[in-house]
């Protein structure tokens, strides 16, 4: 049985513009966790620390993995995809980079394409894909090596409503024994996706719980059309 967890202990990151993330102490287990916050709340900063592409000012973040699988898949906010490559060529290259053994590479690419609903686009070039398909290819690139921890930074930004629904279904189906963390500031993403919601405001955790618990935080005077919108509006202003 898998026991994958992302564990943060007193994690902080300070920038010289005065912004400070944390201290965060979080234990995130398998399933989909949505990291929610207004622009500048610290979501991408957290992702860069969790992906170990940036170092904390203090504290620790580590993946505790119950098996020996590859550690990390990371979809940054603006992934770079090679326009002239086909989906298959690109993912085969990524699988090689991620040290998927050559005998298993073809199957890994097939699995990743089918998990994101791009099986029929296998031989299509990246430049011929729609925006939504490119986002899904970005996710395929993050999951081709079946990582224990999957970090998706604002995967639904820039998509039309239909594409967002499709992508949410793709992400919801990933779940399983992976720790999946999705950053978003879109309320409908949270409702469609989250097993757990962590709301950040100005670098601090102001809510950590499930969607039902989040809805209970709504107050009638807050802006928004639903309890979820009203509670998030409240929380985003919480540390202001
Ligand atoms: N490399 C950096 N150097 C200095 N300051 C930074 C750096 N990266 C982010 N910041 C600052 O840290 C704060 C948090 O930024 P961050 O990008 O983590 O927020 P975010 O929640 O991801 O926002 P958005 O939704 O706009 O992407 C901001 O004040 C930002 O200006």
User: Across the chain, what does the average pLDDT equal?
Assistant: 88
Q: Which residues contact 149 (CB under 8 A, 6 or more apart)?
A: 4, 6, 50, 63, 65, 71, 72, 73, 178, 179, 181
Under a CB-based contact definition with an 8 Å cutoff, are residues 14 and 66 in contact?
no
Q: 175 or 64: whose pLDDT is higher?
A: 64
Cα 185 off chain centre by: 12
Give me the domains of the chain, ranges plus CATH numbers.
Answer: 1-71+147-240 (3.40.50.300), 79-146 (no CATH)
For the segment 95-120, what is each residue's pLDDT rounded down to a tens digit? 999 999 999 999 999 999 988 889 99
* Ligand 1 center to 44 CA (angstroms): 6
Measured from the Cβ of residue 27, the count of other Cβ atoms closer than 10 Å reads 10
Share of the chain above pLDDT 70, in %: 95
Which of 16, 35, 45 is the pocket-test mutation for ligand 1 (most atoms within 8 Å of CB)? 45
pLDDT of residue 238: 54
Cα 163 off chain centre by: 17
Residue nearest to atom 10 of ligand 1 (CA): 15
Ligand 1 pocket by C-beta < 6 Å: which residues?
A: 15, 17, 19, 37, 39-45, 185
Measured from the Cβ of residue 97, the count of other Cβ atoms closer than 10 Å reads 11
Q: Is the pLDDT of residue 171 over 50?
A: yes
Q: Is the pLDDT of residue 225 over 90?
A: no
DSSP state of 156: T
Strand partners, 93: none
- pTM for this entry: 0.89
Q: Is the pLDDT of residue 67 over 70?
A: no
CA distance 50 to 72: 9
Nearest by Cα to 73 from 89, 57, 53, 101: 53
Helix/strand/coil for 11: strand
Instruction: Supply 64's token pair.
Output: 């505790």
Note the maximum CA span of the chain.
59
Q: Beginning with the edge strand found earlier in the chain, give each strand of the sheet holding 31-36 in spatial order.
A: 72-75, 149-153, 179-184, 31-36, 196-201, 204-209
pLDDT of residue 128: 97
pLDDT of residue 33: 95
Q: Which ligand 1 atom minimizes the distance to the CA of 200? A: 21
pLDDT of residue 239: 47
pLDDT of residue 70: 58
Q: CA angle at residue 45 from 200 to 47, to 5 degrees? A: 90
Give the range with max mean pLDDT: 74-83, 100-109, 165-174, 178-187: 100-109
Confidence of residue 68 (pLDDT cuts 50, 70, 90): low
Mean pLDDT of all residues in 202-219: 90
pLDDT of residue 240: 42
Instruction: Supply 43's token pair.
Output: 């979501």
Lowest mean pLDDT across 39-43, 81-85, 158-162, 230-234: 158-162
Q: 10 or 226: whose pLDDT is higher?
A: 10
Instruction: Supply 99's token pair.
Output: 């040290």
Signed CA dihedral, 163, 164, 166, 170: sign only: positive
Q: 40 or 125: whose pLDDT is higher?
A: 125
pLDDT of residue 175: 62
Residue nearest to atom 25 of ligand 1 (CA): 39
Q: Is the pLDDT of residue 45 over 90?
A: yes
């Amino acid at each position: 049985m898998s026991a994958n967890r992302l564990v943060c202990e007193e994690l902080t990151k300070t920038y010289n513009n005065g912004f400070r993330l944390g201290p965060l102490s979080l234990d995130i287990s398998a399933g989909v966790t949505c990291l929610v916050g207004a622009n500048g709340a610290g979501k991408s900063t957290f992702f860069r620390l969790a992906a170990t592409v940036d170092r904390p000012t203090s504290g620790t973040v580590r993946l505790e993995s119950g098996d020996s699988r590859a550690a990390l898949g990371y979809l940054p906010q603006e992934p770079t995809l090679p326009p002239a490559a086909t989906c298959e060529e690109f993912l085969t290259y990524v699988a090689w980079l991620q040290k998927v053994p050559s005998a298993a590479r073809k199957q890994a690419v097939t699995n990743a394409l089918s998990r994101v609903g791009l099986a029929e686009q296998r031989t299509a070039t990246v430049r011929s894909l729609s925006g939504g398909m490119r986002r899904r290819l970005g996710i395929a690139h993050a999951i081709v090596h079946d990582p224990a921890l999957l970090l998706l930074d604002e995967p639904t930004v820039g998509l039309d409503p239909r594409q967002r629904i499709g992508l949410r279904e793709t992400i919801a189906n990933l779940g399983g024994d992976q720790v999946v963390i999705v950053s978003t500031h879109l309320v409908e993403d949270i409702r469609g996706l989250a097993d757990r919601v962590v709301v950040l405001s100005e670098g601090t955790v102001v809510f950590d719980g499930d969607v039902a618990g989040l809805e209970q935080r709504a107050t009638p005077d807050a802006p928004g059309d639903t309890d979820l919108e009203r509670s998030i509006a409240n929380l985003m202003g919480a540390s202001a």
